Amino acid sequence: MSVYLLIGIGIVVTFLLHLVGIYVKSLKIVWIAIVFLWAVAIGTFTNEIKPQGYNEIAKMKGKYPQTDKLIEQAGEKVSFYELMQIKSSYLKQKKQEQKRRGD
């Protein structure tokens, strides 16, 4: 999933919550909830991953050059979003390799 898709989904949800706030006539509470949801979402994607995530990265390292490049760019502390990108790249490369072997 790209960051643009995630932001787009967030904007749509924000708009829908805003409409709910207008309908129930409690915009202040709804906007407080919206701000809280955005803060939690941003915090989740920027937090460092758990040690198990580093074990997964170690298993993926060295198999595909494109994935290795993403691992290198992530640096010492890897965020959840970076882990998603690395895993997505790894799975895409693995699928392409299996396709080549199958042909």
Residue 80 has a pLDDT of 85
Residue 90 has a pLDDT of 92
End-to-end CA distance of the chain: 28
Tokens linked to 83: 């882990």
Prediction pTM value = 0.64
Place of tokens 């080549």: 100
Rg of the chain (C-alpha set): 19
pLDDT at 103 over 70: no
Q: What is the pLDDT of residues 1-44, one digit of tens each?
A: 566 777 888 889 889 988 888 888 888 888 888 898 888 888 87
Residue 7 has a pLDDT of 80
Q: What is the pLDDT of residues 55-95, one digit of tens each?
A: 888 888 888 989 889 989 888 888 888 888 899 999 999 99
